[in-house]
Amino acid sequence: MIPIIPIASFISALVSLGATTRVFSLYRQRKNEALWYFGAWFAVVTIMFLNYALGGIVASGVGNAVIDAIGNLFIYVSCVLLIQIPFIFLDRREWGVISGIILATAGLVFFIGLLLNPSPSVREVVGPYVFWWPQYEQWLRSYTGVVAGTTTLTFTLTFLYLGYRGRSDMVVFRRSAYLAAGMFSLMLSALSILIVPKIIFVERIVLGATAMVAGIILLYYGLLWMPGTISEVSEGSQATKDLV
């Protein structure tokens, strides 16, 4: 039997770990606030996927349900970190703080929902694949997908806007496009894994993992692509350019 979730999660964790290491190295050189949040977000995502991988290998029943719940809580932590980045570029940090509080509250609601609906995971087999399926209410899973989707959509739209506003500068435009495309890919990953019904489980895990890895690579490439100094287009686009 092939443990599909641990394999997909471990691959995603390795890719994210590589991005974490490189982004924090870049942060130490540049001391850029947005880079710190990018690095922290990559680090949390790495821990989240390692948690999912561990749960599918060494845990069963109640233990897997607990590990899955912890992994979902990491999703909310990552959202709190991620939502700060668009508002840093828009120079609206107070909006980021408010959004972070809202997302943290959403995470608390999720945790309370888990406490009110405790149940062990069930081992299931689909063809050659084996996985543990958490039995808590579908609305909790969809709820997390909506929160993650809204956060990533905010990020995506912000960088599409910054790219359009700085379109006369191709470095800024292309880098913004990579960041927006990367986060859009992550949004598709979150929606496919957390919202799509279980009846197409294997397909959505493969799709979600592929979109996740592609998204991380695009984000990483967007942060590191074409370093250089050019004339300032606007505060937001200049901040995007200064990431490298």
Domains held by the chain: number: 1
What gap in Å lies between CA 110 and CA 59, rounded to an integer? 22
SS (H, E, C) 144-191: HHHHHHHHHHHHHHHHHHHHHHCCCCHHHHHHHHHHHHHHHHHHHHHH
- Angle at the Cα of 12 from the Cα atoms of 105 and 136, rounded to 5 degrees: 45
Joined together, the tokens standing for residue 189 give 């990953």
Name the residue with higher pLDDT: 114 or 176: 176
What is the domain-level CATH number for residue 74?
A: 1.20.1070
Taking CA atoms, 46 is separated from 41, 100, 187, 232, 237, in Å, by: 9, 20, 17, 34, 28
* Residue range(s) defining the domain that contains residue 56: 2-241
Mean pLDDT of the region 60-66: 66
Q: What is the pTM of this model?
A: 0.83
Lowest-pLDDT choice from 38-47, 122-131, 178-187: 122-131
Q: What is the pLDDT of residue 9?
A: 83
What gap in Å lies between CA 94 and CA 119, rounded to an integer? 39
* pLDDT tens per residue across span 162-202: 889 988 888 888 888 999 999 999 888 877 766 555 555 66
pLDDT mean across residues, the chain: 80
What gap in Å lies between CA 205 and CA 237, rounded to an integer? 35
* pLDDT tens per residue across span 191-242: 776 655 555 566 777 777 888 889 988 998 888 754 432 333 344 555 555 5
